[in-house]
């Protein structure tokens, strides 16, 4: 007799798909039909599995996806936990804006976590970072700079069957945070290359961990974000505070460049919109018009 079940793909191990079902984790093989259809089950996919008489388990069907985000991809992402480090690698507002714009385009909400604040202690560098992050909080993002607070809150933040995924540069501290959230996760964590001030992609694969009533994915970090598919005149919609202000711009479809009666420019001049946000908006526009990512990000 063939038994059927539904579940969520939590990991990929040597060609096998581990599927979390109501009765536990089942290791399955994908049916050849996926290869013919050029479909590939992905971590985060909600799937149907079958167990045959001999006890062999197969992944037979991928249920419709909400989205597919990142490289390597995670499917059905409800929320991103963006880990951005104070140092090693150095905090960068440009990088933060890139991530936020990208996920806003993908229609996925973001919570920001500042890691390694302990490495700067009470320095002026840390105060400056916190000041900048306060702006992001003001425009609507949840921001944490203390891992204890985040570790305590996160099981309640991840709602039933939601999939949250970590994002952030290699070495930012995603796996370190995951190990604090899931004491038994044992994810390997890396060393920072002193010369490059960069991590070395310690995490190689996407894996989901049960947290609260849902899942949290550790990932290798979405390091290359490609905006070029975004239409240049739609970019302003993905800067949340620009979008909000734009209803007061004189012209519909205002790009907030040189148009008269532009509310975004007014707020910028008043110091309410952060200059670095506006500068990043302009540089992303250039990047999209030129159709390529800047060399340093490749």
Ligand X SMILES: Nc1nc2c(ncn2[C@@H]2O[C@H](COP(=O)(O)OP(=O)(O)OP(=O)(O)O)[C@@H](O)[C@H]2O)c(=O)[nH]1
Residues that bind Mg ion (CB under 5 A): 174-175, 202-203
Q: Is the dihedral of CA 138, 170, 280, 67 positive or negative?
A: negative
Return the closest-CA partner of residue 176 out of 168, 184, 161, 187: 187
Helix (H) or strand (E) holding 149, with range, is: helix 147-157
CB burial of 66-98 (b: ≥16 within 10 Å; e: otherwise) equals eeebbeebbbbbbbbbbbbbbbbbebebebbbb
Q: Least distance from C-beta 284 to ligand X, angstroms?
A: 23
Q: Among Mg ion, Zn ion, ligand X, none, what binds residue 119 when CB lies within 5 to 8 Å by partner kind? A: ligand X
Task: Select from 20, 202, 237, 283 the one that contacts ligand X (CB under 6 A).
Answer: 202
Q: Does 70 bind ligand X (CB under 6 A)?
A: no
Q: Three-class SS of residue 57?
A: strand
Pairing of strands 74-75, 142-144: unpaired
Q: Which is nearer to ligand X, 65 or 198 (CB)?
A: 198
Return the closest-CA partner of residue 222 out of 103, 53, 57, 56: 103
Whole-number Å distance between alpha carbons of 105 and 120: 33
CA 63 to chain centre: 22
Which range binds ligand X by CB under 6 A, 20-28, 29-37, 110-118, 282-290? 110-118
Q: Least distance from C-beta 193 to Mg ion, angstroms?
A: 15
Give the HSE-up count for residue 156: Cα atoms under 13 Å, Cβ half-sphere.
Answer: 5
Site string for Zn ion, 230-259 (x = CB under 5 A): -------------------x----x-x---
Q: Does 262 bind Zn ion (CB under 5 A)?
A: yes
Total residues in contact with ligand X, by rule CB under 6 A: 23
Q: Does 134 bind ligand X (CB under 6 A)?
A: no
Q: Does 11 bind ligand X (CB under 6 A)?
A: no
Q: Which is nearer to Zn ion, 183 or 258 (CB)?
A: 258
- Binding to ligand X (CB under 6 A) within 211-230 occurs at 220-221
Q: Does 176 bind ligand X (CB under 6 A)?
A: yes
What burial class does residue 199 get, using C-beta atoms within 10 Å of its C-beta: 0-12 exposed, 13-18 middle, 19+ buried? buried
Q: Catalog residues that contact ligand X under the rule CB under 6 A.
A: 115-116, 118-119, 147, 168, 170-176, 189-192, 199, 201-203, 220-221
Q: Catalog residues that contact Zn ion under the rule CB under 5 A.
A: 249, 254, 256, 262, 264
């Amino acid at each position: 007799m063939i038994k059927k079940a539904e579940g969520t793909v939590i990991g990929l191990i040597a060609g096998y798909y581990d599927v979390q079902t109501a009765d536990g984790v089942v290791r399955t093989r994908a049916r050849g039909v996926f290869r013919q259809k050029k479909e590939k089950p992905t971590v985060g996919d909600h799937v149907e599995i079958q167990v045959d008489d001999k006890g062999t388990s197969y992944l037979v069907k991928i249920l419709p996806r909400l989205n597919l985000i990142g490289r390597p991809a995670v499917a059905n992402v409800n929320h991103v936990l963006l880990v951005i480090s104070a140092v090693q690698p150095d905090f960068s507002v440009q990088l933060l804006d890139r991530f936020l714009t990208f996920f806003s385009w993908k229609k996925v909400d973001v919570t920001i976590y500042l890691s390694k604040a302990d490495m700067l202690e009470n320095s002026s560098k840390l105060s400056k970072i916190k000041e900048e992050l306060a702006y992001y909080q003001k425009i609507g993002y949840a921001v944490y700079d203390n891992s204890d607070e985040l570790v305590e809150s996160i099981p309640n933040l991840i709602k039933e069957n939601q999939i949250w995924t970590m994002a952030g540069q290699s070495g930012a501290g995603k796996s370190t945070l995951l190990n604090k959230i899931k004491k038994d996760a044992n994810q390997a964590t890396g060393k920072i290359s002193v010369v490059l001030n960069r991590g070395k992609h310690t995490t190689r694969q996407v894996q989901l961990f049960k947290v609260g009533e849902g899942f949290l994915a550790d990932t290798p970090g979405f390091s290359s974000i490609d905006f070029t598919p975004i239409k240049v005149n739609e970019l302003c919609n993905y800067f949340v505070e620009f979008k909000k202000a734009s209803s007061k711009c004189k012209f519909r479809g205002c790009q907030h460049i040189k148009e008269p009666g532009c509310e975004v420019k007014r707020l910028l001049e008043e110091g309410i919109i952060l200059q670095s946000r506006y500068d990043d908006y302009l540089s992303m526009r250039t990047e999209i018009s030129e159709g390529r990512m800047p060399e340093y990000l490749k």
